[in-house]
Amino acid sequence: MSTLTDAANKVPLMFRAQVEGRCQVQRLIPKALEQDAERWADEWVDKAYPDAPNFGKDVQTRPYALSWRFITNSGQDDGVIRPVIGARGWPFYPGSSMKGVFRQAAHQLERAGELKLGTCDRYCGEKLENNDFRPGILRFHGGYPTDTRWTQNLVDIVHPQQQWQVKSNDKEGGAFIQISLYKPELIVGISSTTPLDDLEWEQIWHIWETALSLGLGCRVSAGYGQPQQRSGDILYRTRLKGQGQAAKLVDGTGEFRPNVFRAAIRGHALRIFGGLTNADQAEGLVQDLFGGIRGGATVGLLSMAFLDTQLELDDFGQGSYSQPTYTVEGELLWRLTRDLPQPQRQALTKLIEALTRFAMVFGGFGKSWRRADHRLVYPDYYDQGYKPLIGCHWEWLGKRSQVRDVRVRKLEKVGDFIAEVRQAAKEWMQLQTRTPQLDTHANWREAWHPDKVQVWGRETDGLEDCEAVRWLHGPYREAIPSVGIPEGSIYRSSITGQMGNVGRLWHRMYPKVRLVKDPENPKKPMPLVTRQYFELVTVFPDDSVESEQLLGFLNGQQTLFKKLWPMPRH
Amino acid sequence: MYHRAYGIIETLAPLHVGASAGEETGNLNLIFRDQFTQTGIIPGSSIRGRFRADMRLRRQQHLEASLKAAGVDLPAATARKVSSPEDPKKRLPRLEWLEQEAEKQSISVPELVNENHWYGHHAVTGQEDGGTTEALVKFEYASLVWIPVFCPGQPVVWVSCPRLLRRYKQITGKPEPVLRPKAAADGQPKQYPVKLREHRDRLFFNLGFLDNLAETPDLSNWVPKDSQIQPDNLVVVDDQDISIIHDMALYRQTRTKLEDDVKKVENFFGFEALPEDSILIFPIAVKDSVPHYDRASDASADGSARWKPFKNRTLRELYFGGLESIGCGHCEVTLAGDYFGDTPDDADA
């Protein structure tokens, strides 16, 4: 019917086969001028209607803001996760999904005695004897964004990197693209087949909001679909602030991605368990906690949300070294995704507290988390002109976190703190009927076992009073030719790592927060943030010469740093 | 014999009329289609069922109000089954209980809210012919007039074809000839009547590009005049092409059944539905023993009951088809035509 020339290449991407050369939404092609996903998203939003669909008069609606990204898989295209597209080309949260989580929450509230038995059946329908079915009185109309902000930042890059971060230098996969909504506000609708009074509507919205607290859509355990309000069965919450390198979207702009917390803490869980048992068991334990796909999909016990209270994105560096950066403050929440017996619940709370604190003591979150922020600890570095941005810096925020979460107030406490983290992990293992085996460990680069890792530290007078940062960029020891001591250096070795090769050294400036008496309330301690920092160097030695020399240097030729772990046996 | 009337349906949500979810577990639950154009329909029986259920509710409300006025204690509003006063072990459906009590109190139901009067009496065991009666109001299936197609990179376009427009013309009595794609000359590609808000030289559908568009402003006369959605991008395609374009327009969703206690998929199934903002039409025949309904005077000469399914209005939100609990089937229905005192479309123009 058409006389168009080159018609095949004018077909919109949504109607093309997912094959190379036609359209591959999920693939990130390095250095491509334009990714298929970007074009796909542009074509999508270009002619979608400017005004939102509405639900009609008899539908009750409420708006909900989500704290970060949101994705429901449409299931329409093979291998690509992209939203359901509803009326007028707008993304749609289906009523079926809404009913599903509503029913789950209603059941939960019934079991907890908060709702009268049978309420869920009344609202959502029930199976009767003889295979009959009685419909419920509610209709779930799903949700739409409230305005056109949904058209921004649709392309979302996902990097699986557990293998690479913890175990070995083999990369899995690379980057994948999905299409998700960035911080949308959704308006959702519910209606009833019979008139209900206001009190009952309040109850219905309460059930819905309980459901919402479990997260909407998929990838909820990684921080997607989380409501911008603190709710749900919260095990642990704390406030943090940090700065570092923002993740880069396909178009080069920056985004602070809260899933960095989950990635870091999941990685630390692997390291800790990997130091207490073999690789297989450690992976199983971590999968139970955080979910995974090993031997069949498992939903994790823990789900995470980060509610930012302040977020600024900026740029740092010149020319090709220019990088998007963030400074962020907010609250990190870990929620329990299902009921657990009380002893397990307590052990899990201790464990997730310990792992989060561990992440804070020894590293940071997000890109370049193994390094202290060079902008703070080594500003001279950037005087030399074109230099890449290195490191990040994180601190506990607010009195509550500074009192409860700071476990290392003295250098000597680092060893005890590590023992505490390992103890929390051991207790959890025992409740899972796995026995910690202290003489084994996973054969990974970063398993946390006395044979595999050493922690050294010192107290400094300030952020710039930073010693080890120089080891990363030059010799840590001058040569003394007269006595035959050569220059010592780990610069550009397997210890420091290079592009495409993860190093074996973590360097962290951990703020020293003291507890002092509150003059107004002498019984309660008050945190005092000092000018001092603990400079912590964590080394995972390998069998290289550089590694052996560095350990020799630490052990014998310097006096600044003390060995903190493994603690010398008494 | 009959007053002519018709209903216009505009979908506010996806509309699924067909096999219900669960009957074809693991498959796509398809919608019912007209066998010639392969486009979605709502069977007359579904439309009648909806109207009957609605009026049945009004009858129930009438009985409840009358019994209450007569001082009868009513069972709790949420009780769906009620013990029979004669035999407490026997549980009666609420409506049946109300009917029995009303009979005792000699409370009658006005014809205005008696669904059995208008839509035919349902079968009753033990009566001659099952006690059924002929309906005074008859419904035919609803067919599409316009279906919106969303395609990235082009505006939403409402598509129709001559066959669907012809049915619209038959039902509404529209005098103009049906618009259809025509070849400008022998061997030339066909020209497609379009009415577009912004100029475009081609439209993409899953069967290829239409690039011989003939701007036809009159096309907007084929949109029902009281339509709420006012499509401003219209195109008429050939009868044999509508089915595949319809296929592109359908709302499709994969549904998953999650495990009860964790957010993990147990089962997959999917369904299709007519998308939001579709426009359908269905004919209604009202027996001429029913007096003409004049909206202006709201009275009949002999005082007998008229069929007023939406009371004194002609527009109402109704739910058709399945999957209502997940937001499907929400529609706006407008009643029009001769019986409702309307002149045929454009007849006054």
Q: Could you tell me which residues are beta bridge partners of residue B33? A: B40
Contact A338 B328 (CB under 8 A): no
How high is the pLDDT of residue B349?
Answer: 37
DSSP B156: E
Contact B153 A47 (CB under 8 A): yes
Contact assessment for residue A82 and residue A23, using Cβ atoms and an 8 Å cutoff: no
Buried b (16+ CB within 10 A) or exposed e, A5-34: eeeeeebbbbbbebeeeebbbbbbeeeeee
The answer on pLDDT for B22 being more than 60 is no
**B194 in contact with chain A, both atoms CB, cutoff 8 A:** no
Tokens 């979605």 map to which residue? B40
Is the residue at A358 inside a domain? no
Which residues of chain B lie closer than 8 angstroms to A57, CB-CB? Answer: 317
Q: Is the peptide bond before A566 cis (omega within 30 degrees of 0)?
A: yes
Contact A57 B317 (CB under 8 A): yes
Neighbours of A415 (CB within 10 A): 18
How high is the pLDDT of residue A279?
Answer: 92
Percent of chain A past pLDDT 90, that is, above it, reads: 45
Contact B276 A49 (CB under 8 A): no
Nearest to B310 by CA among B5, B2, B1: B5
> Would you call B165 helix, strand, or coil by DSSP?
helix
A89, A99, A339: residue with CB nearest B150:
A89
B152, B211, B253: residue with CB nearest A46:
B152
The answer on pLDDT for B195 being more than 80 is yes
For chain A, list residues with pLDDT below 70.
1-2, 78, 160-174, 499-500, 568-570
B189, B253, B261: residue with CB nearest A94:
B253
Substitution target from B57, B150, B331 for chain A, most A beta carbons within 10 A: B150
How high is the pLDDT of residue B104?
Answer: 86
> Would you call B93 helix, strand, or coil by DSSP?
strand
Contact assessment for residue A347 and residue A427, using Cβ atoms and an 8 Å cutoff: yes
Which residues of chain A lie closer than 8 angstroms to B310, CB-CB? Answer: none
How high is the pLDDT of residue A27?
Answer: 80
- Which burial class, exposed, middle or buried, applies to B315 when counting CB atoms under 10 A from its CB (0-12, 13-18, 19+)? middle
Average pLDDT over residues B28-34: 84
Substitution target from A96, A134, A186, A290 for chain B, most B beta carbons within 10 A: A96
**B61 in contact with chain A, both atoms CB, cutoff 8 A:** no
Is the residue at A565 inside a domain? no
**A96 in contact with chain B, both atoms CB, cutoff 8 A:** yes
Tokens 């305005």 map to which residue? A147
How high is the pLDDT of residue A264?
Answer: 93
Is the residue at A477 inside a domain? no
Residue type, A413: K
Give A 119-158 residues with CB within 8 A of chain B: 122, 124-125, 134-136, 138-142
Which residues of chain A lie closer than 8 angstroms to B189, CB-CB? Answer: 1-3
Q: What is the DSSP string of A317-386?
A: SSGGG-EEEEEEEEEEEEEESS---HHHHHHHHHHHHHHHHHHHHH--SSTTTTSB-HHHH-THHHHTSS
Which residues of chain A lie closer than 8 angstroms to B322, CB-CB? Answer: none
Which residues of chain A lie closer than 8 angstroms to B241, CB-CB? Answer: 1
Please, which residues have CB within 8 angstroms of residue A126's CB and are 6 or more apart in sequence?
Answer: A133, A134, A136
Rounded CA separation A551/A452 (Å): 13
- Which burial class, exposed, middle or buried, applies to A562 when counting CB atoms under 10 A from its CB (0-12, 13-18, 19+)? middle
Contact B276 A86 (CB under 8 A): yes
**B276 in contact with chain A, both atoms CB, cutoff 8 A:** yes
Give B 308-327 residues with CB within 8 A of chain A: 317, 319, 323-327
**B244 in contact with chain A, both atoms CB, cutoff 8 A:** no
How high is the pLDDT of residue A209?
Answer: 92
**A483 in contact with chain B, both atoms CB, cutoff 8 A:** no
Rounded CA separation A511/A527 (Å): 12
B206, B212, B327: residue with CB nearest A142:
B327
**B13 in contact with chain A, both atoms CB, cutoff 8 A:** yes
Strands A562-565 vs A60-65: parallel, antiparallel or unpaired: unpaired
A15, A53, A98: residue with CB nearest B276:
A53
Substitution target from B262, B313, B316, B331 for chain A, most A beta carbons within 10 A: B262
- Closest-approach residue (CA) in chain A for B207: A1
Percent of chain B past pLDDT 90, that is, above it, reads: 34
The 10s digit of each residue's pLDDT in B246-296 is: 999 998 887 777 777 776 777 777 888 999 999 999 999 999 888 877 777
H-type alpha helices, B21-159: 44-69, 94-104, 115-119
Rounded CA separation B123/B114 (Å): 15
B208, B254, B276: residue with CB nearest A2:
B208
How high is the pLDDT of residue A6?
Answer: 86
Which residues of chain B lie closer than 8 angstroms to A122, CB-CB? Answer: 78
Which residues of chain A lie closer than 8 angstroms to B210, CB-CB? Answer: 1-2
The answer on pLDDT for B162 being more than 90 is yes
Distance in Å, alpha carbon of B47 to nearest chain A alpha carbon: 17
Neighbours of B136 (CB within 10 A): 19
Which residues of chain A lie closer than 8 angstroms to B155, CB-CB? Answer: 47
Distance in Å, alpha carbon of B215 to nearest chain A alpha carbon: 17
Substitution target from A11, A47, A57 for chain B, most B beta carbons within 10 A: A47
Contact assessment for residue A271 and residue A502, using Cβ atoms and an 8 Å cutoff: no
Contact assessment for residue B203 and residue B158, using Cβ atoms and an 8 Å cutoff: no
Distance in Å, alpha carbon of B2 to nearest chain A alpha carbon: 33
- Closest-approach residue (CA) in chain B for A14: B152
- Look at the alpha carbons of A196, A199, A202, A208 in this order and tell me if their dihedral is positive or negative: negative
Contact A1 B208 (CB under 8 A): yes
Which residues of chain B lie closer than 8 angstroms to A136, CB-CB? Answer: 325
Tokens 């997730």 map to which residue? A352
**A430 in contact with chain B, both atoms CB, cutoff 8 A:** no
Chain centroid offset of residue A456 CA: 27
- Alpha-carbon Rg for chain A, nearest whole angstrom, is 27
Give A 182-201 residues with CB within 8 A of chain B: 189, 193
- Look at the alpha carbons of B58, B59, B61, B66 in this order and tell me if their dihedral is positive or negative: positive
Query: In chain B, what are the domain boundaries?
Result: 2-43+141-150+157-174+224-347, 57-134
Count contacts between A and B (CB, < 8 Å).
145
Please, which residues have CB within 8 angstroms of residue A237's CB and are 6 or more apart in sequence?
Answer: A230, A331, A332, A333, A334
Average pLDDT over residues B293-313: 77
Nearest to A204 by CA among A60, A373, A378: A60
A85, A135, A297: residue with CB nearest B264:
A297
Range of the domain at A206: 28-229
Among A112-116, B137-141, B311-315, the minimum mean pLDDT is found in B311-315
Number of domains composing chain A: 1
Of B347 and B312, more confident: B312
How high is the pLDDT of residue B348?
Answer: 43
Contact B152 A44 (CB under 8 A): yes
The answer on pLDDT for B23 being more than 60 is no
Of B177 and A177, more confident: B177
- Closest-approach residue (CA) in chain A for B252: A76
Contact A135 B324 (CB under 8 A): yes
Distances from the Cα of A334 to the Cα of A182, A352, A356, B98, angstroms:
21, 8, 10, 54
Give B 121-160 residues with CB within 8 A of chain A: 150-156
Nearest to B159 by CA among B189, B123, B195: B195
Q: Tell me the residue length of chain A.
A: 570
Interface confidence (ipTM) of the complex: 0.80
Nearest to B301 by CA among B309, B311, B293: B293
Q: Which H or E element spans position A36?
A: helix A36-46
